[in-house]
Structures are given as C-alpha cells and as structure tokens.
Structure 1
Amino acid sequence: MSNEDRIGPYRILRLIRRGGQGSVFLGFDDRLNRRIVAKLYALPADPARSKEVLREAQLVAGLDSPRVVRIYDVIVGDTHLAMIMEYVPGCDLEELLDQCDLSLDSILAVATDVAGAIALARQQRIVHGDLKPSNVLVTTDGRVKLTDFGIAQAQGSIHSRRGSPSCLSPEQLQGKPLDVRSDLFALGCLLFRLIAGRHPFLRQGTIDPAALLAGAPALPATLADGTPVPSALSALVADLLSADPAQRPQTTHEVRQRLHRIAAELPRSLRFPLADEARHAFREETGDDLPLPIPGSLRHQGRSRMPLPPGRWTLFGVGRDWGRRQWLAAASVLLVALAGLLVSIWPSSYRVHVPLPQIVLAPGVTLPEERDTGWLLRQVRDLALQVEPGLVFSGELPPFRSRTLDRSLSALGRPPPPEQLRIALHCQQTWCVLGLERERETWRRYRQALLLTNAPAAHWQQLIGLAVDELFAADG
C-alpha cells in the first residue's frame, strides 16, 4: 500500500472484511509498534444523529475488560467514523462453528466469558444489540472476547434494528426499549446454537416472528458427540429465550452463577479445552500482517536528491512534494511560533507608583528654570524607562500621572502597584542632594546624587542617570 493509506496516525495494511455495518481493516500503530483493527462506519447526514453516533462510540471506548476487545481510539472525518480496536489473534466463533462442534466444557467457557462481557456493558448502561457468533472472538489461549460494540446503544433506548437477525429479541421486533435482558436473550440464542447446531428462530436465513414470540423450541438431549445436556443448562436456555423479558433472568449475575454451578459439576480435567478445539481454526499469522521492514532512516528521514520538477521548490530540503495546502499549513505554524517568540521576548509591564515628591529648598534658594522640579522629575522618568522599558508609572504629578482615565471594572479591582518610587530633593545654597528609593513589601534600595547648583544641566543629567541606572539595573 502507499504511504497515503492511513486513518489518522494509523497505517492501514489490508482489508480484512467488508460487511453491512462497515469495512474492517488491519492496521499498524507505528508509535506503539502494535497491530490494530480499524472498523469504519458511515456517519449519518443529519448532524444531530451524527453527534449521537459519536457519543455512542465514545461511550463504548470507555469499556475496559479482558472479556471485551479494547477500543484504542475514535477517529472522525467529515463522512465516516473509525473505531481503532485491539487486534486479537485467533478466530471468531462463526469460523470455529463452521469447522467443528464444541464440547460441553467449551460451550460453558464461551457462555461464561460472554456473560461477563455483557455484565461490564450493563454497568455502563450499554446494550450490545448484535451478539452473534462472528462478534465473539476466541483467543489463542482459549478465552473469549466480545467485539463490535459499534452499534451498541444506551440502555432504555429504542433500537433501530441495525443488528443481525440472529440477535433479534421479541422486544426489538416490537420496537420496545432495550435493556440487559435483550442481550441475555441473544446469549440464549447463542447457547442454543452451540448445543443444537442451529439457531432457534431462523428459518432459511430469516427470522420467524411467530416462533420468536412463541418461545424457544426444545433442546436436544445430547450434544453432537453424545454428551448429555445437563438439565440445568436446558432450563437456563429456556429461561433466557422467554418471549416476555420479565420471565428471563433479570441480571447477568444470576446467569453467571447458574453457569458456574453447571461447570462445577463437570470433571476438572476437562474444564478448559477450548484452545485445543479451536487451534485448527486460528488464522495463520503471516508477514503480510506486519509492516515491511523498511529502515527507519529511510522511512522518516529519507529525502529525494533528484532535480525538482517545474513548479516545485524546497526550503532547506523540506517540502519537496508539498502542495499548496501543506505550504500554507507550514507557514501558519511558522507564524504562530514567531508570534510566541515575540511574546516571550517582548518586555512585560511592571507598575510603579510615585508618591508626591519631597522637595525642600533652603531659604533664598531657587533652581534655574532649565533645572526646575518638573525638569528633574521628567529626567528621572525618562532615564528609568531607558533602563526598564516595561515600567508603568502612576503618580500625583504630571510626569508620572496617567494621561487616560481607566474606569473599567478590571481597573477598579486591580491591586495597588507592587512597588513605590520615592523621590526627595534637598537643596542648600551651593549643592542639592537627590534621593531615589525603590520600596517593595520586603525589599528596599536607595541611591542618591550630589548636584552642584552652579553645574550645567548636562552635568545634572549625567549624575541623575548614574543613580537611576544603579537603582533599576538589577533587582536586589
């Protein structure tokens, strides 16, 4: 198959079978190095019904038991849904029954494991609805797994008769809601066939409604090999096949108890012969069921070195066979990554509040117009922003006061700034001391600059810059 034969991340190897409910494929999960089975279902055109089918698939995927084939994944497309399931080596019960009749011990082993699977489904309020021999898998160790819950429905729902005729119960025929007793009726049909070699209600491949509503026919007294059928087993099958659900066993627990009591009366040396009886029917495991042994370096890193055809181009050897859609997707990923990088390196804002500065001038001292209080505060603000561009100041004087009034609810509920910048200026006749103090809840840093009153403004700016740089260059 080509590299395009995939369902999601799963590589498809070959078609196993095509049936009325959907096609079944053998596949391989390269990530976990294991075989899988993919069953495809066509989604209804009605969006509401399509969502319902998806919910059913997700519900079934939650079943987890050694008696049930595990669902690994649910892949959904525009028109189809794929259930990704566990691959079970061995055979199904239909294949086995086509080749041989089972012993009494094997019949009880099959019925007990199927009843256990029904019990698990009942706990999740799921009705299987299609319990037929081809949906019962016999493993190579002689145990049984129930599969194909793909058409299962929630307990209490009205079944749409999507199941096989061999699994049809009287309440399904009448369009009534289903529950676990419907699956127990199907288990009775399965047991009848295992014992008698035929279905109790099928006539020439079609269901006989009159026979279905009349109750089960009598079982033969012996199996095909001459083994007597225990009376307790005949009574259990008759109860399971009652036309009235109220007359059947009401729980899987009761059925399993009765099966265990019947099995306990058999010789222990013959308790589990199913693996030996089924071995000749097990499918042959061949190399066709595994991916070709292509080296990983070629599968994942191999690149063509042939000249590119017209209209094709690559970027650093990548994208040789890409079409327009792949290039657009790659460009989108690149833009998202670039945006994330810009966000990570863009300076983040940090709020600082500046209380009313403390300005103390000795008597008779006035500052030149080019170095007045407003000029000095603007210098502190601008120089601090050069060191820390993400600072967001708030304060009572214009250099630090916000130019816009934020009346939003988020602003009203915003906590106070985590830091304060206190500014103090004390001037005598010949000199001024500028004090700058950063204060947080548990941390404080102070720097000061000695400014000569007759020094030029550029000298003041240089000294203020040194103090601000030491104050904001690194947190203490």
Structure 2
Amino acid sequence: MSNGWTVPGYTEVRELGSGGSGRVVLAVHDATGTAVAVKYLSDRMREDPAFVREFRAEARLLGGLVSPYVTGFYEYVEAPDGAAIVMELIDGISLRAVLLESGRTDAEAALVVLKGSLLGLAAAHRAGVVHRDYKPENVLVAANGSSKLVDFGIAANRGTTPGVAGTPAYMAPEQWQGRPASPTADVYAATATFFECLTGRKPYDGANFAELAVQHIEAPVPETEAPEPVRPLIRRGLAKRPEQRPENAEAFVAELEAVAVAAYGPRWEERGQRKLAALAALLPLLFPSAGGAAAGTTAVATTSIGSGWAPGRGGWLATGLSLVLGAVLVFTTDAAGGTPPGSSALSDFATTSPGAPSPPTPGPSQTAPSGSPSPSPSGSPSPSASASPSPAPTPTPTAWPSTGTSPSWSPTPRPTFTWSPTPTPTPTLRVTELDVSLKPGAYRADAAVSLSTQGSGPVTVVLQWFLGDAQGSYTVPDGTDTVVVRAGAPTTLVQSHTFPRGRGCYAGVRVTTKPAAANGTASDSQLLARCTDLEPPR
C-alpha cells in the first residue's frame, strides 16, 4: 500500500487504521512535539489523477473550514512519492461504536449528538459545501460527551451535480436521483442518524437497494417510533421534499434548540452531554489515547450511479431495480449502512485521531470494520487528555496554487519542497449533443437536460426560464440556473423551477452550455397544469 514515504518534519508513532484508499497514522510534529493525524493516499490511488484531485480537494475544503465542530486542518503535502493530509488529533470514538455497544441513547443524549454535528455541517454550509455522507461512522464522540463531524472525502460544492453518492441508509430522496448537492440532503442524513440514536435502528430497512430507494422516496416518515416530544424534528428532517426540510443545518439547530428546551428544560444539553460521556466511557480501549492496535477502517461510500439520472415517480420500481444492478458494482457499503471488508473508495478510511496533549491540538481517531466497534475520529472541541499543554502547529494555510500544481505549505518552519507534475495532453472538451424536455406541474416544472461530451473537465449548463401565453413563446424571463457537471459518459440532470402565479400559462426553458454544444441550444415549453382547462381544443 505504501512505498514508505512519510511527510517530512513528522515522526510516525503508529498506524491507526487503513483501507483500500490509504492509511491514517498517529505522528508527532518534530518542531513542536504536537501529536497529529496524517492521512496518506495509497500508492494505488495516487496512480489515478482523478483520485489525487479529489484528495487535494478534500484538503482544500478542510483548510477553509474553521469550527470547533469539524476536524482541524494543518497542512497538505504532495510530492512525487506520496500525498498526505495532516490533521487535528482528537481523542474519541465514533458514534457507530457507541451505538454498537449501547444499542440506542435517550433523547437528551441524541439531541446533543445531533446538535454538535449539525454545527459542523453549518460551518460547511456557510462555506457553500455539502458533506453528502453524514452517518454514525463520521460523527465522533469525545470523552466529555461533545461531538464533532469528520471525513469530507465526498463533499461537493452546493449546486453541483456530482452524481449519486453517499451511504444508502442515510441518503435523501434527491440523492438517489443524483440531483444537485444541497444542504437539505445533509439535514436528512443527520435526522436519519438522530432517529437511529433514539430507536436503535435506521429509519428504513430495505433488504436491497431497490427496496431502500423506494422507501426513502415514498414510504411514510416513521416518526411515531421516536419519543413524542422530538417527533416534529423527525417529521421535518425526514420530509420527502427538500423544500419541506429546514434549509440548512444552522436553521435546523434553531428548531432543535426550541424543541429541546420546550420538552426537556434549559439544562437538557448539560444532562445529555453527561449521558453521552457515560456511554463513551464504556469503551475505554477504543480511544486512540489507549494506544491500541490499528484497525481496519470503515469505508466511506463514494458511489456513482450513472450521471445524475432521475426517473419519474411512476418509474420508481424500475429505478430501484436499476439501482441494484449499478449498486452491486459501485456501493461500498451495504443497504444497512455497514461496511464490507476490503471495500475501496476514494475515502474508504475515516479521518482518525488519537488524543493530543494540548487543548488547541487536533487529534486523530480510529474506525472499525462493520459489526465491531473500533476507535474513530472524535470530535471534541477540546481534547480530554490531562497532560500539560504543548505548542501546536498553527493552521495557517496559504493560497492554493492554480489547478494542476501540487500545494505544499507548513504551519511552522521546516524544510519545504514543491514539485510540478509533468503536463499531460488533455483531450479537447466538447459537448456533442444537447437536449431538454420539460415536465410541467401546477406552478413548477422539471427540466431534464441530456448532454453527450468528449474529453474531460467541467461543463457549465445554463438554464434560462420563461413564461409565455403560447407554446414556444419565451417572452417573460423568470430567472436563470447554472449547474456544473463533469464531462464523461452521457449525462442527464434534472433541474426544477417554481413559477409565480398569474404570469402566463406556458412554462419554457432554454439551455446552453459552456463550452457550447454542437447544436448550440436546446429549448422546450409546456402548458402548466393549472391552465389545462384553458388549453384550446384540438
């Protein structure tokens, strides 16, 4: 897996976990003695430029997030012999390990878990980033009962359409469709995890991907299985339509606090944190500070089914069956949310971190294979270790170099090195065909855009919306949406738009791309359902 390369300026102490994509080690920063977690990309993955770009993007994303509820970032180093992310080291265990041991938590402890990791999501959402893989494996519980969010390996910019990705048991309906990344999908996954804390089981238990897809999209929200006072949170967070959920994690935190105070009083969080700490204390050997042996890590599902394909409601059974065929090949976690051994994905090791001796020092964590508890990156704003503080590297990332070069900076003075990869010819990016079809509702319409491309790189899709009084009359502009997709296989994306009342009966959309498609533009207009009684006889 490794050629023996290590990040200069750090001394490796021990391996914390490994997986198909790489390994995570506990190391010490030579200049300050600070313990850190170093996440190495495997040699096999480094041979694929796409994986290297994604690994680099994860580092860039972490460098832009400053929050006590998100794993801290120190530096990213890339050289001819390796690539690594140096991160905060935190003493704690995964929420999955807690649930495997205890089965469930009470409502106050579950609310504490939800609030802590939602605050981590809120930091990402403010930065325009969607996590896309919130689940118990990616929530860390510290010894003091605080929680933190980790592993942004498959995060995406809000509004982009990176395809179907996530862990099936926690994926929002729109994720199954490959719709643009949205904070409301993270809210859904966080609520699914909250439900699991409360009940000991996932909201939906489909035996295969077909059943699971249909349940997430159509089955009633199982709110009655949760304690009555928190059912409004379950109902809101697991709503089928994104617009029926809180718009982002920050909005959901406000709703959570209102419900929690009304139901459990103003000291609910203090009690919940104590209860959560007591549950974590049942697993002392899983804390990185215990110095246990490295464990296999939990795979993160970096799945991709097609390219944002989204069938109509009437075809969901066929959708599910098709998902089964694709998911057998690409899902790295099973329908129950577990992880098969030996799975490999872009981030199929969790960001792990043992406890650091200094309060500002981030810390690694460990995760375990499905079915057995094992240390995980723990998100406590301040490590619980009692050792005296020591200076920590100061996270001061500099500006990232332009695309195609390899960033390298350090938080404290040490020998630095950079490299410039040998340029490789990139096929000219072309959009060979563009098409759009409009499916109207009463006051909204869904545009299904299909495009075929050659070469590699991002394609910008611009949708201009119109209203008119006759079919094909694009007379009243009603906004523009811009979506970026990745070139490759034929791609279909679905974009929805809501029209104002009383401004025309025909919805229209005109689509262009950059680079321009061979056929220039594509357009369609259809009669809105609210005006069907006005349609002239044929």
Task: Output the TM-score relative to the length of structure 2.
Answer: 0.48
In structure 2, C-alpha distance between the alignment counterparts of 1:15 and 1:46, rounded to whole Å: 24
Unaligned runs of 5+ in 2: 294-353, 355-414, 416-538
Residue of structure 2 equivalent to 1:18: 18
Q: Of 56, 74, 77, which residue of structure 1 is paired with 2:76? A: 74
3-state secondary structure, aligned to 1:137: strand
Q: Of 73, 92, 95, which residue of structure 2 is paired with 1:93? A: 95
In structure 1, C-alpha distance between the alignment counterparts of 2:164 and 2:40, rounded to whole Å: 19
8 Å contact kept, 1:128–1:151? yes
3-state secondary structure, aligned to 1:149: coil
In structure 1, C-alpha distance between the alignment counterparts of 2:58 and 2:5, rounded to whole Å: 26
In structure 2, C-alpha distance between the alignment counterparts of 1:272 and 1:158, rounded to whole Å: 37
1:251 matched to 2:248: yes
1:212 matched to 2:210: no
1:396-415 to 2 correspondence within 5 Å? none
In structure 1, C-alpha distance between the alignment counterparts of 2:167 and 2:22, rounded to whole Å: 13
In structure 2, C-alpha distance between the alignment counterparts of 1:110 and 1:132, rounded to whole Å: 11
Q: Of 268, 278, 281, which residue of structure 2 is paired with 1:279? A: 281
1:455-474 to 2 correspondence within 5 Å? none
Residue of structure 2 equivalent to 1:169: 172
In structure 2, C-alpha distance between the alignment counterparts of 1:259 and 1:8, rounded to whole Å: 45
Tell me the CA shift for residue 243 of structure 1: 2.3
* Cα offsets for 1:139-174 (capped at 9, x unmatched): 122111111113211111223445322332222211
Tell me the CA shift for residue 137 of structure 1: 0.7
3-state secondary structure, aligned to 1:40: strand
In structure 2, C-alpha distance between the alignment counterparts of 1:242 and 1:31, rounded to whole Å: 51
Tell me the CA shift for residue 36 of structure 1: 1.5
8 Å contact kept, 1:181–1:249? yes
| CA 239–6 in structure 1, closer or farther in 2 if over 3 Å, else same | same
Residue of structure 2 equivalent to 1:141: 144
3-state secondary structure, aligned to 2:254: helix
Tell me the CA shift for residue 221 of structure 1: 4.5
Residue of structure 2 equivalent to 1:150: 153
In structure 2, C-alpha distance between the alignment counterparts of 1:45 and 1:141, rounded to whole Å: 41
3-state secondary structure, aligned to 1:31: coil
* Cα offsets for 1:64-112 (capped at 9, x unmatched): 1111110111122447532211111121101111111212111011111
8 Å contact kept, 1:166–1:199? yes
- Find runs of 4+ consecutive structure 1 residues off by over 6 angstroms: none
Unaligned runs of 5+ in 1: 223-228, 291-332, 334-476
3-state secondary structure, aligned to 2:257: helix
Residue of structure 2 equivalent to 1:84: 86
| CA 45–160 in structure 1, closer or farther in 2 if over 3 Å, else same | farther
8 Å contact kept, 1:8–1:75? no
* Cα offsets for 1:423-451 (capped at 9, x unmatched): xxxxxxxxxxxxxxxxxxxxxxxxxxxxx
8 Å contact kept, 1:216–1:242? no
Residue of structure 2 equivalent to 1:270: 271
Tell me the CA shift for residue 44 of structure 1: 6.4
Answer with 244-253 or 78-87: which moved more.
78-87
1:27 matched to 2:27: yes
Q: Of 59, 65, 69, which residue of structure 2 is paired with 1:57? A: 59
3-state secondary structure, aligned to 1:208: helix
Residue of structure 2 equivalent to 1:451: none
For 1:8, give the aligned amino acid. Answer: P
3-state secondary structure, aligned to 1:203: coil
3-state secondary structure, aligned to 1:83: strand
* Cα offsets for 1:335-361 (capped at 9, x unmatched): xxxxxxxxxxxxxxxxxxxxxxxxxxx
8 Å contact kept, 1:215–1:241? no
8 Å contact kept, 1:11–1:30? yes
| CA 205–82 in structure 1, closer or farther in 2 if over 3 Å, else same | farther
| CA 79–51 in structure 1, closer or farther in 2 if over 3 Å, else same | farther
| CA 215–286 in structure 1, closer or farther in 2 if over 3 Å, else same | same
CA RMSD of aligned residues (A): 3.0
Residue of structure 1 equivalent to 2:228: 230
1:220-369 to 2 correspondence within 5 Å? 220-221=224-225, 229-231=227-229, 233-265=230-262, 266-267=264-265, 268=267, 270-273=271-274, 274-282=276-284, 283-284=286-287, 285-286=289-290
Residue of structure 2 equivalent to 1:116: 119
In structure 1, C-alpha distance between the alignment counterparts of 2:222 and 2:170, rounded to whole Å: 19
Tell me the CA shift for residue 288 of structure 1: 6.7
Tell me the CA shift for residue 249 of structure 1: 1.3
Tell me the CA shift for residue 277 of structure 1: 2.5
| CA 19–237 in structure 1, closer or farther in 2 if over 3 Å, else same | farther
For 2:63, give the aligned amino acid. Answer: A
Tell me the CA shift for residue 41 of structure 1: 3.4
Q: Which has the higher helix share?
A: 1
8 Å contact kept, 2:54–2:153? no
Tell me the CA shift for residue 40 of structure 1: 2.9
Largest Rg, 1 or 2: 1
| CA 288–195 in structure 1, closer or farther in 2 if over 3 Å, else same | closer
Task: Output the TM-score relative to the length of structure 1.
Answer: 0.54
Question: In percent, how many aligned pairs have the same letter?
Answer: 27
Answer with 200-209 or 102-111: which moved more.
200-209
3-state secondary structure, aligned to 2:140: strand
8 Å contact kept, 1:24–1:37? yes
8 Å contact kept, 1:5–1:12? no
8 Å contact kept, 1:27–1:36? yes
